[in-house]
A and B are shown apart, each in its own frame.
Chain A
C-alpha cells in the first residue's frame, strides 16, 4: 500500500505543478488575449475589467490565476485520484493474490489519499480562497477609488476649489503615484492654489496635538494639586482642580474619581475655588502674560469648560493657541476641551483619505427597537482602525430610517460620515442594557454623527434630517443602535455575503440573521453546504476510485506519453461534473432545510454517511473481471 500511496502522491504533486502553470498561462491569455485569436478566443478571453488600473494589472492577473487554481483545486484532486489510480491499480494488481484483502488494502489507500486531499482542499477553500478574494476586491476598490478621486479633483479644480482638488489629487496619487494625468492635475492645482492664496490671504494652522488625559485622579491628589497651583499663582489650575474635587462630591457615579470622600476636603476645595476665582476676576492682563482681550478670551474659554460647553471652549483655546502659540494653561485647557468635545463630535480631517481603506461597502440591515418599531440602516462604506486597544470605525454615507410601532417613518436622516465606537451599554439606560444581557461584551454601537473643523468653528457637517422625530427637541450629534456591538461587526461581514464569512462567524450569525433583516436560510444553507462539503468530497473521491478501478488499464499495458497531454481534458470535465454535483448538493440542502429547518445539517450528513457506507461496500466487493 505504501508504494501505491507514494506513486499516487508523486503523480498528484507533478500534476498540481503542471496544472498551476497551465492555469497561470490560461489566466494571462484570458486577461490579456493575444491578437487574432480564433472564434473560441472570444468566449474564453474576458480581457481586463475596465476599471482595473494598469499599475495593478500584473498583480490582478497573478491573483486571478491563483484564485482560479484554488477554485479548481478540489476538482484537480479528484482528477488526480481518478487518473493515478486507474494506472496504479493495474500495476499493483499484477502482484496481489487474494481479492477481498487486496480491495480492502486499496480502499485504505484511497481513503488515506482522499483525506490528505480533503485537508488541502479545505485549506484552499476556507483559508486561501477568501484571502485571494479579499485581495482581488481591494484591487478593484482601489482602482474604482482612483477614478472617483481623479474625477472629483477635476470637478473641484473646475469649480476653483483648489484645496479640495489638491486633496483629491493627493488621494488619487496615494493609490497610483505614477499617474501622469493626476500628477499634472496636482501641478496645475498647486500653481492655481498658490496664486489664489496670494490674492486672498488664506492661511491654515496645524497646531500641536494635545496628549495625555487626566482621569481617575484621587480626590486627595486633586486637592493637593489645587493648593499647589494656588500657591504658585496658577489660579486657573487651582480653580479647575478645586472644581473637580467639588464635582466628585456631587457626581452620581463616584467610580470616576475613586477615593474616600471626606467632608473637610469638600470645604477646602470650595475655599480654594472661591479664592482662585476671585483672583481670576481681579487679575489683569499681566497675570497670563496676554493682552487684556486675550485674557478675557481665556476666561471665556475657561467658563465654557466649567459650564460643559466644550465645543465653544475648544475653539476659544484653539484661537488663543493660534494667536499666541499657547501658554501651558491654554494647551492644558485646549486638551481638556478637545477630549470632551471628542465624546460628542469628531474632526472632519479624520475622514480624509479614508475611502481607499474601506474594508466593507454597501451594508444594509435593520434593527428591532424595544418598543416594537425598527431602524433600517444603510452604510456606503466602512473603514476600521485600531485605537487605544479598541476599534474605531468611520462610516461613509450613513442613512437611518426609523419606523414606529405602527410601521410609519418617525425619523430619517443621512450623514456623509459618522464615527462609530463601542460603548458600555449601561451608560445609555436599561433599554440598551437589556439588548446586551446575554452577551459576553456588554457594549453597543455608539455613533457620533456631527463632525467639526479643527480650526474653524463655523464649519460642521451635521446629519440631514428628511423626517424629524417629534420627540427629539434638538438634532442629535450622537446615536446609539439598540444592538450588541459584536453583532454590528458580524453584520459588516455578512453584508459581503456568506461566502466571505469564516465558518465560526457564519455559525454565530445564523442564529441572529433574521433579527437584522437577513434571511436565516441564506446563511444556514451556505453553512450546511460548507460543513457537508468534506463529506461530498470523500464520496466523490470514492466514486472516482471506483471508476478508476472499472476503467483501469490492463495489467500488461504501458502508460503512453501522449495520454499526459489529454489530462487537462479530464480536469475540465471533472470540474464541470463537480460543479453540477456541488449545485445538486446545495439544492438538496436547501430543500431539506426548507422542510426541516435546523435539522437539515444532521439529516444531510446522515445521508452522506449512508452513501459513503454503500460506496465502501461496493468498492470492496469489486472483482478483477
Chain B
C-alpha cells in the first residue's frame, strides 16, 4: 500500500518535471527559429514557455504514464494496488488532464515556432528553396540585389547570376527562420517523424474533443492500449530488459493508433467490420476501441505467459 501511494507522488513529480521540461524545450526551439545570422535574439520568453507547457501537456501526461510503468518495474511493484492506481491515474489523464489542456490550447496550430517572417541579413550565402543566394542588400519586403549561385550542372561558363532590386518570391520555409541557422542543427529524421506523429495525434485529439465526448472516446481508447504496458512489464526478469520492452511497447501503441487513425486503413477496416457487425462499427470510437482492447489482451496474455513460464521453471524465485 505504501509503495502504491508513492506511485501517486511520483506521478505528480514526473508530470511537473515533464511539464517544465516541455515548456523549456519549446522555448529553446522558438529561440532558435528567431535567430538570424548577424543579429542577437532574446533567450527567456515566458509566452513561448507557457505555449510549450499547454501545447505539450497531453503528451507530457501520457509520457508520465510511461514513467509510472517504468517505476513499477524499477521497484518490482506488481501489486494489485499499484495496478489499480495506474488505472485511476490513466483515467485521470485521459478524462481530466488531456481534455482540460485541449480546451486551453490554441487549436488548429501544429507544433512550429513563430509564424512571423524574419528579416534576412545581407552578406551571407543562403540556401533557399529557390537556390543559393548572396545578398548585397535586402529589405523587409525581400527586394534584393546580389548573386544567385547556379547549380554545378548549369552552363559551364558561369557560377553566379547577378541580379539587382529583384522582388524575391521566397517560400514560407525560407522566411520563417534563417536557413543558415536551421542548417546548423539538422533534425534526426526519426525525430522529425516522432514530432509529426505527436503533432498529428494532438490535432486528432483536439478535433475529436471539439466534436463531442463520444468522439473523444476514440482517442481516450489509447489509454486502454497503454495499459497493455502492464502486461509487457512481466516479459523479463531482468528489469532493464522489461524497461526496454515497455518503452518500445509505448512507441508501438502510439504508432498503431497513429496508423489506424491517419491512413485509409481505418476506412477499409470499418467497411469489413460493418459487414460483420452491422451499424455498431460505424460508431466513431469503435475501431480504435477494438484495436486497443486487442492490444491490451494480446500483451497481457503474453505477459502472463512469460510470468507463468518463469514461475513454473524457477518456482517463483527471481533468478
A558 to B25, CA, bound (A): 41
Q: From B194, which residue of chain A is reached at the shortest CB distance?
A: A580
B180 touching A570, Cβ below 8 Å = no
When distances are taken between beta carbons in the complex, the residues of chain A under 8 Å from B237 are 553-554, 557
Q: From B238, which residue of chain A is reached at the shortest CB distance?
A: A553
When distances are taken between beta carbons in the complex, the residues of chain A under 8 Å from B125 are 364-366, 517-518
Cβ of B63 to closest chain A Cβ, rounded Å: 13
B32: Cβ under 8 A from any A Cβ? yes
A563 touching B238, Cβ below 8 Å = yes
B185 touching A586, Cβ below 8 Å = yes
When distances are taken between beta carbons in the complex, the residues of chain B under 8 Å from A548 are 240
Q: From B44, which residue of chain A is reached at the shortest CB distance?
A: A595
Question: From residue 108 to 142 of chain B, which have CB atoms closer than 8 A to chain A?
Answer: 123-125, 132, 134, 136-137
Q: 1/0 per residue B18-44: CB within 8 Å of A?
A: 000000010111011011011011110
Cβ of A451 to closest chain B Cβ, rounded Å: 15
When distances are taken between beta carbons in the complex, the residues of chain A under 8 Å from B226 are none
Q: Which stretch in A3-11, A315-323, A339-347, A521-529 binds the other chain?
A: A521-529
A401: Cβ under 8 A from any B Cβ? yes
B74: Cβ under 8 A from any A Cβ? yes
Cβ of B56 to closest chain A Cβ, rounded Å: 14
Question: From residue 577 to 609 of chain A, which have CB atoms closer than 8 A to chain B?
Answer: 579-580, 583-584, 586-588, 590-597
B152 touching A403, Cβ below 8 Å = no
When distances are taken between beta carbons in the complex, the residues of chain B under 8 Å from A408 are 164
When distances are taken between beta carbons in the complex, the residues of chain B under 8 Å from A625 are 75
A591 touching B28, Cβ below 8 Å = yes
B256: Cβ under 8 A from any A Cβ? no
A557 touching B160, Cβ below 8 Å = no
A558 to B236, CA, bound (A): 12
When distances are taken between beta carbons in the complex, the residues of chain B under 8 Å from A441 are none
B132 touching A364, Cβ below 8 Å = yes
Q: From A558, which residue of chain B is reached at the shortest CB distance?
A: B319
B158 touching A526, Cβ below 8 Å = no
> Which residue of B41, B147, B184, B317 has the most chain A CB atoms within 10 A of its CB atom?
B184
When distances are taken between beta carbons in the complex, the residues of chain B under 8 Å from A517 are 123-125, 134
B185 touching A587, Cβ below 8 Å = yes
A590 to B27, CA, bound (A): 12
When distances are taken between beta carbons in the complex, the residues of chain B under 8 Å from A556 are 317-319
When distances are taken between beta carbons in the complex, the residues of chain B under 8 Å from A595 are 31, 40-43
Given A380-B152, A416-B156; A597-B40 close (CB under 8 Å): yes
Cβ of A102 to closest chain B Cβ, rounded Å: 19
A587 to B181, CA, bound (A): 10
Q: From A495, which residue of chain B is reached at the shortest CB distance?
A: B125
When distances are taken between beta carbons in the complex, the residues of chain B under 8 Å from A86 are 238-240
A520 touching B239, Cβ below 8 Å = no
A517 to B34, CA, bound (A): 20
B157 touching A464, Cβ below 8 Å = yes
How many chain A residues touch B (Cβ–Cβ < 8 Å)?
67
When distances are taken between beta carbons in the complex, the residues of chain A under 8 Å from B132 are 364
When distances are taken between beta carbons in the complex, the residues of chain B under 8 Å from A558 are 319
B156 touching A397, Cβ below 8 Å = yes
A592 touching B43, Cβ below 8 Å = yes
Cβ of A622 to closest chain B Cβ, rounded Å: 11
B224: Cβ under 8 A from any A Cβ? no
Cβ of B86 to closest chain A Cβ, rounded Å: 18
Question: From residue 81 to 103 of chain A, which have CB atoms closer than 8 A to chain B?
Answer: 82-83, 86
Cβ of A582 to closest chain B Cβ, rounded Å: 8
Secondary structure at chain B's binding surface: helix, strand, loop or mixed?
mixed
B184 touching A397, Cβ below 8 Å = no
A579 touching B37, Cβ below 8 Å = no
B145: Cβ under 8 A from any A Cβ? yes
B162: Cβ under 8 A from any A Cβ? yes
When distances are taken between beta carbons in the complex, the residues of chain B under 8 Å from A588 are 28
B170: Cβ under 8 A from any A Cβ? no
Question: From residue 138 to 177 of chain B, which have CB atoms closer than 8 A to chain A?
Answer: 145-147, 149, 152, 156-160, 162, 164
Cβ of B65 to closest chain A Cβ, rounded Å: 18
Given A557-B318, A590-B181, A594-B35; A378-B160 close (CB under 8 Å): yes
Q: From A409, which residue of chain B is reached at the shortest CB distance?
A: B162
B244: Cβ under 8 A from any A Cβ? yes
How many chain B residues touch A (Cβ–Cβ < 8 Å)?
59
B38 touching A519, Cβ below 8 Å = yes
B68: Cβ under 8 A from any A Cβ? no
When distances are taken between beta carbons in the complex, the residues of chain B under 8 Å from A414 are 157-159
A561: Cβ under 8 A from any B Cβ? no
B73: Cβ under 8 A from any A Cβ? yes
When distances are taken between beta carbons in the complex, the residues of chain A under 8 Å from B37 are 519-522
Q: From A525, which residue of chain B is reached at the shortest CB distance?
A: B184
Question: From residue 377 to 413 of chain A, which have CB atoms closer than 8 A to chain B?
Answer: 378-380, 397, 399, 401, 403, 407-409, 412
Cβ of A611 to closest chain B Cβ, rounded Å: 13
When distances are taken between beta carbons in the complex, the residues of chain B under 8 Å from A547 are 240, 243
A550: Cβ under 8 A from any B Cβ? yes
> Which residue of B134, B149, B236, B247 has the most chain A CB atoms within 10 A of its CB atom?
B134
A558 to B146, CA, bound (A): 69
Given A587-B25, A595-B43; A376-B160 close (CB under 8 Å): yes
A194: Cβ under 8 A from any B Cβ? no
A120: Cβ under 8 A from any B Cβ? no
When distances are taken between beta carbons in the complex, the residues of chain B under 8 Å from A583 are 185, 187-188, 191
B241: Cβ under 8 A from any A Cβ? yes
A569 touching B248, Cβ below 8 Å = yes
A239: Cβ under 8 A from any B Cβ? no
B157 touching A594, Cβ below 8 Å = no
Q: 1/0 per residue B36-59: CB within 8 Å of A?
A: 011011110000000000000000
A376 to B134, CA, bound (A): 8
When distances are taken between beta carbons in the complex, the residues of chain A under 8 Å from B28 are 584, 587-588, 590-591
Cβ of B69 to closest chain A Cβ, rounded Å: 13
When distances are taken between beta carbons in the complex, the residues of chain B under 8 Å from A364 are 125, 132, 134, 149, 159
Cβ of A96 to closest chain B Cβ, rounded Å: 20
A374 to B123, CA, bound (A): 10
A576: Cβ under 8 A from any B Cβ? yes
A558 to B156, CA, bound (A): 69
A591 touching B162, Cβ below 8 Å = no
When distances are taken between beta carbons in the complex, the residues of chain B under 8 Å from A379 are 159
Cβ of A111 to closest chain B Cβ, rounded Å: 21
A606 to B157, CA, bound (A): 52
Q: From B151, which residue of chain A is reached at the shortest CB distance?
A: A362
A584 touching B158, Cβ below 8 Å = no
A380 to B146, CA, bound (A): 19
B158 touching A519, Cβ below 8 Å = no
Q: 1/0 per residue B177-200: CB within 8 Å of A?
A: 010110111011011000000000
When distances are taken between beta carbons in the complex, the residues of chain A under 8 Å from B149 are 364, 378
Partner-A contacts on B (CB < 8 A): 25, 27-29, 31-32, 34-35, 37-38, 40-43, 73-75, 123-125, 132, 134, 136-137, 145-147, 149, 152, 156-160, 162, 164, 178, 180-181, 183-185, 187-188, 190-191, 236-241, 243-244, 247-248, 317-319
Partner-B contacts on A (CB < 8 A): 82-83, 86, 361-362, 364-366, 374, 376, 378-380, 397, 399, 401, 403, 407-409, 412, 414, 416, 464, 498, 514, 517-522, 525-526, 547-548, 550-554, 556-558, 560, 563, 566, 569-570, 573, 576, 579-580, 583-584, 586-588, 590-597, 625
Q: List 15 A-B contacts (CB under 8 A).
A: A86-B238, A364-B125, A376-B134, A380-B152, A408-B164, A414-B159, A551-B238, A557-B318, A558-B319, A563-B241, A579-B188, A579-B190, A590-B35, A593-B35, A595-B40
A364-B134, A517-B125 known; 6 new pairs, CB 8 Å cut-off, are: A86-B240, A364-B159, A551-B238, A587-B32, A591-B32, A594-B40
Q: Shortest 3 CB-CB distances between A and B: which pairs?
A: A378-B159, A595-B43, A519-B37
